[in-house]
Amino acid sequence: MKIQERTGAGAGRSAAPAQPSVGDRLPSPPRERKPALAALAVLLILLGALGATMLVLRVGERVEAIQVTANVKAGDSITKDNIKVVMVNEDSGADFVLWEQRESLMKLQAKSTIYEGTVVVGQMFADKAAMEQGKATVGVALKEGQYPAGLGEGDNVAVYRVGNKASSTDQDSSSGSTGADNSLLVERAVVESAPGSGGDGISSTSKAFTLTVDAADAAAVAQAASAGEVALVLVPGK
């Protein structure tokens, strides 16, 4: 009996793996990431946003300043009862007095009347002048003709009461005469402040003067000044 020959030369062996065709592409490696560049980009974005924010905040930066809540007369000082804190723009250009400086400001006196609602600036105040014992300062508003031309600080003046009230008082005197001497209120007073040549004063027709007089005469001068019946006469110094 002949043994039948196997027709398959490779029968019984496992099939060889299929070779890739020429048209197939090998898978590409993953793209390399650059975390440092990404972090730098994020940082630049954050810095730009922060810079813009700081610029906006700087333009509108506000600080605490002092505002008066009641009129402060010339020569007076502020107190804790007539001021309050208010927010102001730091870049406004005004020399605002900061709220934290209020204790120091209380040691100064107003150069002129500061009206309610005013935000205080440094130029409104000056060092307190020592007042001689027994003296007082009085403010008077005078029209032209009630004071000599060129009257200035440091001048010595005599203060007279003029007008109808002075005349009627003189006429009612026991002597029955006009009593010119009775219209003299102060024999010698010192001009502490006077309007400058620039036209400082109450109005174009009235000028503000501050006089130092004896304390005993202050009330009479103030009363006559409120009625517009004060006249000043320049007298020699002591």
Q: Which residues pair with 135 in a beta bridge?
A: 214
74 in Cβ contact with 82 (< 8 Å): no
Question: Is pLDDT of 100 > 90?
Answer: yes
Q: Is it the case that residue 133 has pLDDT exceeding 90?
A: no
Determine the Cα–Cα distance for residues 139 and 48; give it in Å rounded to an integer: 60
* pLDDT one-digit tens code per residue, 193-233: 888 644 444 445 778 999 999 999 999 999 999 888 999 99
Instruction: Count CB neighbours of 145 within 10 A.
Output: 9
Higher per-residue pLDDT: 139 or 17:
139
149 has a pLDDT exceeding 70: yes
DSSP state of 72: B
The pLDDT of residue 127: 84
| DSSP letter, residue 44 | H
Q: Which amino acid is at 111?
A: K
Phi-psi region of 189 (alpha: psi -120 to 50; beta: other; left: phi over 0): beta
Asked whether the predicted pLDDT for residue 174 surpasses 50, the reply is no
Q: In the 8-state DSSP scheme, what is residue 8? A: -
Among 188, 189, 171, CA closest to 180: 171
CA–CA gap between residue 64 and residue 122 (Å, rounded): 14
Does residue 23 have a pLDDT over 50? yes
